[in-house]
Structure 1
Amino acid sequence: MLYPMFAMVVLTFIIGFVALKTRFASVKNGEVKASYYRLMAGQEVPNTVTQSTRAFNNQFEVPVLFYVVCTLYISMGIENPYAIYTAWAFVVFRCIHAVIHLTYNHVLHRLSAYWLAILCVLALWLLLIV
């Protein structure tokens, strides 16, 4: 479970760097005033800024349930191969979700990846309880 958790941490940092790069570029290009970022309000911003910010924020929503359940598997000493495959599937779906979110952002495609990841987390919890 540790490796899928680490993969999620890496994904979170990658998205964070993309968001940071997007913010700096928006200020450098004159699209956004630096003061906007104090409260994230006061002017319209490019879609790329909103997308990357939301993609980054999204890494602290459902993945929290993933981190908790994986930590429980580790702390309880449970080694279930189905759980490990499911954890990796969660990571894959979250990567797909992030790529869609940061590129062409098709809502139905993103939603599909999102819900497949949620089902993986649910399966992890059910495998743990059973």
Structure 2
Amino acid sequence: MTMSTVMLQPVVALVLWTFVMWLWMYVTRIPAIQRMNLKLDPQVPPRELMNQLPARVRWKADNYNHLFEMPTLFYAVALSLALLGDATSGSVILAWAYVGLRVVHSVFQATVNKIEVRFALFALSSLLLLALTVRAAMAVF
């Protein structure tokens, strides 16, 4: 295993986690749609249809969508560090910590969804991502 491969592990792990959330979203959403006899009308905006689902069902989809927001910056920064050959323990620990907090954020949002706690998890993961970005900036500038 090369040094840059070590930096790619958290990237692949977060992509895999996104698929876990994708599956969880559909495993809860499809039965809820069926129980409610929701008519999937192409004339009704999808958001309007999905807003009819119970909140506990929507939380999974909300989190799945969130995994395409800040984590896209993580992918760019982590891939940049891997290309730069930075697989130092500091960068790898920050990357894994970011992934770990995103997983905790996902589970929390999908099950409890207390906004204050969810925001704290988001803010902490964002600070880790900022630190990782600073490391990348120091390497390229």
Fold shared by both chains (TM-score > 0.5): yes
- Displacement after TM superposition at 1:56 (Å): 0.4
User: How many pairs were matched up?
Assistant: 130
Identity over aligned pairs, percent: 28
Distance in 2 of aligned mates of 1:63 and 1:24 = 26
Which residue type is aligned with residue 97 of structure 1? H
Matches within 5 A, 1:48-59: 48-59=56-67
Larger RCO (CA under 8 A, 6+ residues apart) = 2
- Displacement after TM superposition at 1:89 (Å): 0.5
Which residue, 31, 38, 41 being the options, matches 1:25?
Answer: 31
Equivalence for 1:40: 47
Distance in 1 of aligned mates of 2:105 and 2:39 = 29
Gaps of 5+ in 1: none
Can you list the C-alpha shifts for 1:25-68, whole angstroms capped at 9, x where unaligned? 11221263333786232562211232111100000000000000
Which residue type is aligned with residue 46 of structure 2? L
- Displacement after TM superposition at 1:4 (Å): 0.5
1:91 maps onto 2:105 in alignment: no
Q: TM-score, normalised by structure 1?
A: 0.91
Greater radius of gyration (CA): 2
Q: TM-score, normalised by structure 2?
A: 0.84
Distance in 1 of aligned mates of 2:19 and 2:124 = 22
Which residue type is aligned with residue 107 of structure 2? V
